[in-house]
Structure 1
């Protein structure tokens, strides 16, 4: 039997659920298309673009548990779900958010000088076979959350202009290819998985409220929203130091 053949004992329902997960993951490209179409307008609605990014993030956060629960690798092995996921993630987490930062001129001129290095660094991150330590529950390097960075960049530009964003992009570009570890939320080690995931969903809700207020976001809400990234970064550093090996 070929390595890509479906197991003889697989039922039609098992195969259907497995392929449905692949379709669900691929739906993220729909959010990418709609976001790109909006950015092509003469006066794009930035809030709509961010909401589309949030939709893609929700799909990305939930397809993994479905894939494991319905044994996608076992019942739909001829489709590489990881490859679909990486393509959609690069579009919605990296390429389009950074394109939005350039499109809205939220970084100093020439904007491409700040954006292209980040695009290249993230591309290497996605291509790095060691970027995801699924056993340990870590990403290697900054995990290209440029969709979130773009939201904060828009807010920062409104209050401080473009230079702060340029510095932020430079730091995160270096961290993307640096040998530092960040928690993989869906696979975070116990007992931290529930706090990390619950905090992420609460944080997503706060970001949606910030999107509604954009660009005149309340200063206190921005400070509250930063509590989760700080918690996530500090916990990542703490757990990475405790984990043996490289």
Structure 2
């Protein structure tokens, strides 16, 4: 095994480390350590953001065809984007009584179906339908603490949008206004870090910033016409 194979396998290990982060996040969640849980999911987001470019740079698909990097990425993403957040939303107490478990079931079923959708992305790299980023939704629910009925309606609406051919922006791959999308993602990451440091209670300016950025990304996809 030469250095190319070692480097390629290291990228697969990096991707797979997201599963370990998901496990630690779930353990933390069962103990009610929500800030630490979101910190783990945040690190998993970083891993998910860098492993793809590294894999393409090292030509992992050609060097190690035995392992399917895309399949591995889907397995890990389902745990960090869907499964752990579903538990966090259920255990949050933010939903009306009796709706916690049904909401989690809806999240994991719709999320699994979305990850199996071969048309989840458009030709210009937008997501088609809500892209099952339930980790982000859980984060906003814990920060905003909306009334239970609003949280329930939000989850139901997003689950339904999984199957609706509306567009959602991929901040790194969509070419239209990419410079703005990337800049806002950097700002969002900084605000999210401040939020974690503040134990999910960062104050109005940070909450307002997070909300405005979320509304921008929602609108940028929904209002974008197909090419």
TM-score normalised to the size of structure 1? 0.85
1:18 to 2:8 alignment = yes
RMSD (CA atoms): 1.8
Distance 1:147 1:40 in 2: 16
* Aligned residue number for residue 110 of structure 2: 121
Task: Give per-residue Cα distances to partners, 1:5-38, cap 9 Å, x unaligned.
Answer: xxxxxx9232222222111111101111111111
Distance 1:187 1:131 in 2: 14
| Aligned positions of 1:1-246 closer than 5 A | 12-41=2-31, 44-110=32-98, 111-133=100-122, 135-157=123-145, 160-189=146-175, 192-239=177-224, 241-243=225-227
Distance 1:193 1:72 in 2: 26
Distance 1:70 1:19 in 2: 10
Task: Give per-residue Cα distances to partners, 1:166-206, cap 9 Å, x unaligned.
Answer: 1111111111121112122332125x233222321220121
Instruction: Give how far 1:113 is off.
Output: 2.0
Instruction: Give how far 1:237 is off.
Output: 3.1
Distance 2:184 2:65 in 1: 33
Distance 1:213 1:164 in 2: 24
Instruction: Give how far 1:228 is off.
Output: 1.8
The answer to whether the Cα contact below 8 Å between 2:144 and 2:207 also exists between their aligned partners in 1 is: no
Instruction: Give how far 1:87 is off.
Output: 0.9
Task: Give per-residue Cα distances to partners, 1:103-141, cap 9 Å, x unaligned.
Answer: 1222112111222112211111001111134x4212111
Secondary structure of the corresponding residue to residue 153 of structure 2: helix
Structure 1 or 2, whichever has the larger Rg, is 1
TM-score normalised to the size of structure 2? 0.92
Unaligned runs of 5+ in 2: none
Unaligned runs of 5+ in 1: 1-10
Task: Give per-residue Cα distances to partners, 1:57-88, cap 9 Å, x unaligned.
Answer: 01011111111111111111111111111111
Instruction: Give how far 1:215 is off.
Output: 4.1
